[in-house]
Structure 1
Amino acid sequence: MKTYYSSKNIFFVSLLWLIVFGIVSSFFIPENEKGESIPIGIPIFLSLIGGFLIWTLSDTKYRISDNNLKYYSGPIRGKIDIRQIRKIEHVKTVFVSAILKPALGSHGLMITYNKFDDIYISPKDKENFIAELLKINPNIQIV
């Protein structure tokens, strides 16, 4: 089993940490502008959002084990049968057409698998990552 951690786009990661610090700083506001205390539901909701962001920032990685590519990005988790991967395309932008994007980097890989499924990931060591996938499925088209 090999683990590859996500590369990180400094702007995107900084923005997420800024949101987390904004959420944390909001807990130091004891009341709103009318002098009323803030309902307990708001801090709970903000805590959940902050927790999900920290979880995503600290746990975005990809594992290759047996014939599966497993991806982890906070609460987003799943696996892909490597034998079903048809194409890997190098992408150098944050804006990609994939709906599923468990990545923190802007220079990543668009993986097309099954018939119409795709996913955007951004392992730090792309060359070794692709080489490991090709060992399992040498029919993958690299673009």
Structure 2
Amino acid sequence: MYFPSKKSVIFGGLIWGGLTIGLIVAISELDWVTILIFSIILIFWGWVWFSTGYKIEEDFLVIKSGPLKAKIPIKEITKIYKTRSPVSSVALSLDRLAIVFGKNYDEVIISPVDEDKFIDELRKINSKIIVAK
């Protein structure tokens, strides 16, 4: 089952707007190196923006964002809690879930659109997951 990432209008607007303005300025000045750099960054950001999501495949949570991909065994997830932490993550919104997993209590922060259904699907595989509010 696939869960796309929530997308914050403010977050997206800042990134898309900043990159677009930079590209327009570079084009107006005919700065070909900067045009190339901003074009590459816009393509990369588009890849991240449109591909970030979370998939439950068998016993794994697969997290994908642009070229990045991670697989977490669902049986290793111990806790899920809500957070608004602005730390770098595979989330396109500040309305986030932190997932704690593994023996070292590793943590990944994501932002699925339908949090309740996402958590329910994980708990169908691992009923021991603690959900903190």
What interval of TM-score do these two structures reach, taking the shorter chain for normalisation? Answer: 0.7 to 0.9
- Partner of residue 62, structure 1: 54
- Alignment map for 1:10-29 (pairs within 5 Å): 10-29=9-28
- Alignment map for 1:35-74 (pairs within 5 Å): 38=31, 40-74=32-66
Report the structure, 1 or 2, having the larger helix content.
Answer: 2
Tell me how far apart the structure 1 counterparts of residues 90 and 68 of structure 2 sit (CA, whole Å): 7
Aligned partner of 1:103 among 72, 91, 95: 91
- Partner of residue 131, structure 1: 120
Structure 2 segments unaligned to the other structure (5+ residues):
none
- Partner of residue 34, structure 1: none
Judge conservation of contact 1:94–1:105 (CA < 8 Å) in 2: no
Tell me how far apart the structure 1 counterparts of residues 24 and 69 of structure 2 sit (CA, whole Å): 30
Aligned length: 131
The Cα offsets for residues 54-97 of structure 1, whole Å up to 9 and x where unpaired, read as 11111111100111111112222211111111110111x2424x
Tell me how far apart the structure 2 counterparts of residues 45 and 16 of structure 1 sit (CA, whole Å): 15
Tell me how far apart the structure 2 counterparts of residues 48 and 28 of structure 1 sit (CA, whole Å): 14
Tell me how far apart the structure 2 counterparts of residues 42 and 14 of structure 1 sit (CA, whole Å): 21
SS in 2 for 1:106: coil
Structure 1 segments unaligned to the other structure (5+ residues):
32-37
Aligned-pair identity in percent equals: 31
- Aligned-residue offset at 1:136: 0.7
